[in-house]
Structure 1
């Protein structure tokens, strides 16, 4: 088998596909509240499940409530909050719970990351995005980001219009690992940034440690170039690229197309992983890591371990949350490389 190179691909993604693909990623395609395994030492995880189940029940009630008649009065459905916000650290199962809420809610509904939502607005235009999403009962936004003021204002304005049109909202974000003891650190930031929408959201704190690291080793040692090439050659659906070449290629592909870049890929192989020095390049790698993680693509790589791919300076900077999430996910995918070949 001859592996192909991601650098040879230049996908074109129509706006209609962006809308149609607003569903939980394959990793979370079959999850439910019942399949979420709360940490027995973390009561907040049990409470979050209960609150979200009640939120879903309210949405189901609204979908089955009889319509108002001229000849009969019907009791209105319980008002409840317009949105819920899951506040917690990495790997405590926020995306699992968000996807479970999506699965438990009748359609029409949409699920996407903050970045995917901003990409959708860019593709459709603001007014068309409002019109398209206003027909939905629920919009789930994973990994809400507060580090770009322009995008935050854009999405906050969009959500305000959607709430006016009756759309229910659910969102997640991340508290920095060293801020977990400071109560509602992320929730306070989130509610401040969305300003007028704050009153519509009920924040739910979810404490716990990263499940990907529970009892598991840190980043596995990298392979040799020869081992990477050999494994790629015997793996169906393998992509094989130089890390440097792939990073250069990402600069000419819009991030909204990184998912399409991975169409039909079953495993990713990279030669020569090394620390990323440029911030723009690092942020593109974060988006690619998210899309690979969504698709559960094992990553077999040579070079430095993935927990060394971002410099200490970057990990202390304004995009720290993104980089730590990417490291967590890349390390998980690197562990999965043991299943390849």
Structure 2
């Protein structure tokens, strides 16, 4: 009887996967018939999100060139379906090459699923700590026969969208996980605290992670913290030994990760391992599709002394609810004071969120409780508030990852906020300085920082998109869906 009960999840999973494969087959058969109707959908194409653009003809050629006409599933097939359905626009041929690479990886994973131990029901159910103790007696290592993929390129080129497209096509019974890099590292630090006292806690943590997900998709790989840099080398050495396959996106090439960071020589072995276990591909588009959205439709207000105006807008969003001051629990036993909050909306002065010792953990916890942030008084960023600039970049990253809405007042538009932050290369290109007192005063605020210099483009791009009509419409739909789901749950509870 126990064996029968234990087999139920496997039967359900097999049935779901069988249905999924049938769906992929029907999509492929319907593609040719739908192609004749595609010209009628030209107007619909123009309504798709610009970050999903790709040239239809180039895509179809890529699909046939990758695996012939026998493909029944994968990112290329799904992309073709979306184009024919009018869900995507014509556009960037640079993304076609990346789709070929993702389709190649998908095909290799399907072909080697058993040897890669991807099936979560066929995987060992031993506790990770017991497996670690056993490995101390009989050392074992298992490198995956399939290499991962490291995608990097400029902001707004569709890296995250392409990785999500790949991830969502993977079979439902695989050990897989898609997570933002900030969130991943928070999870690692939390696990390390749980295993304090073990001789090698990183090996235990790596065992737990690989037991849960042998295929790990990390979005926005960006190393700025020395503690993370020191952890990554040993952590991924254990993960790769356990057969982990890494798919990641980043704005930086592998050789430029943690550039100029403290004790970077201890981080360099990780870069070598990353390049050995991953195919590195650059997405070379020169277009930032986020900036093609309908900008200046949202809640980004430039000017001074706009506190009263911002508060009025905030109260409009709160509606009939009464905002109040309270503490919310974030993560790791920490709490965060919210000046005013109600109905999923929170109000903060810039200093309270970015000029205090807060980090990604606090921000992730905040946006698990709130879907909208009113942020008052974002200053122009430079040398005098460099630490706050780092926190603001992290805050925007976390908001974007959680699809949160931003209502803010600032001293300048997104580009102007970061005009004083430059990379070393940009600083070297700047013209010779004059001896005038005003020019010297201006130069004293210039912040030469490679990490911030690279991160600023991503932040400007995301602030622009978060201010667009498309983003805000998507946010409204998301909130409506959450409220509808909550209402249904309450109704079921009352009936019960």
Q: TM-score, normalised by structure 2?
A: 0.51
How far apart are the structure 2 equivalents of 1:219 and 1:318?
32
Tell me which residue corresponds to 1:211.
Answer: 289
* Pick aligned residue for 1:286 from 389, 393, 416: 393
Query: Gapped runs of 5+ residues in structure 2?
Result: 1-51, 53-74, 118-143, 193-201, 258-267, 319-343, 424-447, 477-496
Tell me which residue corresponds to 1:19.
Answer: none
How far apart are the structure 1 equivalents of 2:358 and 2:461?
24
* Compared CA separation, residues 156 and 66, structure 1 to 2 (3 A): closer
* Compared CA separation, residues 156 and 103, structure 1 to 2 (3 A): farther
Displacement of 1:149: 5.7
* Compared CA separation, residues 215 and 112, structure 1 to 2 (3 A): closer
1:318 aligns with 2:411: no
* Compared CA separation, residues 57 and 274, structure 1 to 2 (3 A): same
Q: Choose 267-276 or 221-230, whichever is displaced more.
A: 221-230
* Pick aligned residue for 1:84 from 145, 149, 153: 149
How far apart are the structure 2 equivalents of 1:235 and 1:286?
25
Tell me which residue corresponds to 2:175.
Answer: 108
Tell me which residue corresponds to 1:170.
Answer: 247
Displacement of 1:162: 1.2
Q: Choose 201-210 or 330-339, whichever is displaced more.
A: 330-339
* Compared CA separation, residues 188 and 218, structure 1 to 2 (3 A): farther
Displacement of 1:50: 1.9
Displacement of 1:192: 7.5
Query: What is the number of residues matched between the two proteins?
Result: 288
Contact 2:466-2:472 at 8 Å conserved across structures: no
CA deviations over 1:175-197 (Å, ceiling 9, x no partner): 4xxxxxxxxxx254469851134
* Compared CA separation, residues 122 and 289, structure 1 to 2 (3 A): same
Tell me which residue corresponds to 2:410.
Answer: 303
How far apart are the structure 1 equivalents of 2:391 and 2:116?
48
Tell me which residue corresponds to 1:132.
Answer: 208
Tell me which residue corresponds to 1:119.
Answer: 186
* Compared CA separation, residues 225 and 338, structure 1 to 2 (3 A): farther
* Compared CA separation, residues 298 and 66, structure 1 to 2 (3 A): closer
Alignment of 1:61-76 (within 5 A): 61-63=111-113
Q: Which structure shows the higher helix fraction?
A: 2
* Compared CA separation, residues 198 and 110, structure 1 to 2 (3 A): same
Greater relative contact order, per chain length (Cα 8 Å cut-off, separation 6+): 1
CA deviations over 1:104-132 (Å, ceiling 9, x no partner): 22432222233323222221112332011
How far apart are the structure 2 equivalents of 1:263 and 1:151?
23
* Compared CA separation, residues 98 and 271, structure 1 to 2 (3 A): same
Contact 1:49-1:97 at 8 Å conserved across structures: yes
Tell me which residue corresponds to 2:367.
Answer: 262
Contact 2:350-2:376 at 8 Å conserved across structures: yes
* Compared CA separation, residues 97 and 308, structure 1 to 2 (3 A): same
* Pick aligned residue for 2:91 from 36, 40, 46: 40
Displacement of 1:152: 3.2
Contact 1:130-1:158 at 8 Å conserved across structures: yes
Three-state SS of the structure 2 residue aligned to 1:50 is: helix
Higher Rg: 2
Three-state SS of the structure 1 residue aligned to 2:113 is: helix
Q: Over the residues paired in the alignment, what is the CA RMSD in angstroms?
A: 3.4
Query: Gapped runs of 5+ residues in structure 1?
Result: 1-27, 68-78, 176-185
Contact 1:118-1:155 at 8 Å conserved across structures: no
* Compared CA separation, residues 321 and 50, structure 1 to 2 (3 A): same
Q: TM-score, normalised by structure 1?
A: 0.72
Tell me which residue corresponds to 1:156.
Answer: 233
CA deviations over 1:272-311 (Å, ceiling 9, x no partner): 2212332222212111111111122221222322333335
Contact 2:152-2:250 at 8 Å conserved across structures: yes
* Compared CA separation, residues 66 and 243, structure 1 to 2 (3 A): closer
How far apart are the structure 1 equivalents of 2:245 and 2:116?
19
